[in-house]
Amino acid sequence: MTVNTILFDLDGTLLEMQTEHFVKNYLAEVGRHVGDKYDSEKLLKLIWDATKAMIMSQEPEKTNEQVFIEYFTAHSEWDREEVWPLFDSFYRDVFPTLSHLAYPSPWGKKIVEAAKAQGYRVAVATNPVFPRDAIFHRLAWIGLSADDFELVTVYEESHYTKPNPGYFLEICQKLGVEPTDCIMIGNHMQEDMVASKLGMKTYLVTNWMEDRGEPQYPVDQRGSLEELYQAITERTGVFATE
């Protein structure tokens, strides 16, 4: 069957960045936004632990948002009604200003436009551990919006995270495609290339590549963002027509 759907990772792929650097500074900004009203060190640890709970969750009936909120409220000394307005204002007012922590370039938008011009269905397969607003803002930094894609994974609607294969299966179910219909494009060996276990083709973007060493997964094609653009427009490698 001809591959017809491309799943794009966001951080380190369409949006050029070093993810660990971004997350470290993003959390520091959350701490600054919270200010002296709360013990920011304790609050940030709780956010991190609740994020880990999302990553470890095997409860398909709960969204990542539900898992995060349940963990947070069960382990927090503060009421959710107290803290959540601060989170909301952070994502509304502060997060959009953090583009300096990334290195937005024209390649992301050019690649998506090229894929659509070649007739591919496109989706953003970013790890859904962030609220919708945070993901949409990051798309805006490269001149794109959710309307440019058939699907963008966000924590309010997703039930798994990377590298759980269930995350990729859920995307396929929502799009009405088989894994073998898809190419997963990402920069992370463990979180993105795991899609190969389901029969997806894979393209590893090398500009901001991340590799924790183990486990290793098959990579069908690899290259820079420029090489990815050329492969899509020229229909070579995993993009070749059968």
> What pTM, to 2 d.p., does this model score?
0.95
* Distance (Å, whole) CA 117 – CA 129: 30
Residue 25's pLDDT is: 94
Residue 224 backbone dihedrals phi, psi, to 5 degrees: -75, 170
Residue 241's pLDDT is: 81
Residue 242's pLDDT is: 66
* Distance (Å, whole) CA 38 – CA 16: 33
* Distance (Å, whole) CA 146 – CA 139: 8
The answer to whether 143 and 166 have CB atoms below 8 angstroms apart is no
Residue 115's pLDDT is: 98
Residue 183 backbone dihedrals phi, psi, to 5 degrees: -115, 125
The answer to whether 164 and 191 have CB atoms below 8 angstroms apart is no
Helix/strand/coil for 183 = strand
Tens-digit pLDDT profile for the chain (242 aa)?
A: 489 999 999 999 999 999 999 999 998 999 899 877 788 889 899 999 999 999 999 999 999 999 999 999 999 998 888 889 999 999 999 999 999 999 999 999 999 999 999 999 999 999 999 999 999 999 999 999 999 999 999 999 999 999 999 999 999 999 999 999 999 999 999 999 999 999 999 999 999 999 999 999 999 999 999 999 999 999 999 999 86
* Distance (Å, whole) CA 238 – CA 235: 8
* Sign of the dihedral defined by the CA atoms of residues 190, 199, 65, 21, in that order: positive
* Distance (Å, whole) CA 139 – CA 14: 9
The answer to whether 172 and 182 have CB atoms below 8 angstroms apart is yes
Neighbours of 193 (CB within 10 A): 25
The answer to whether 230 and 202 have CB atoms below 8 angstroms apart is no
Give which of 66, 70, 140, 131 is closest to 102, Cα–Cα: 140
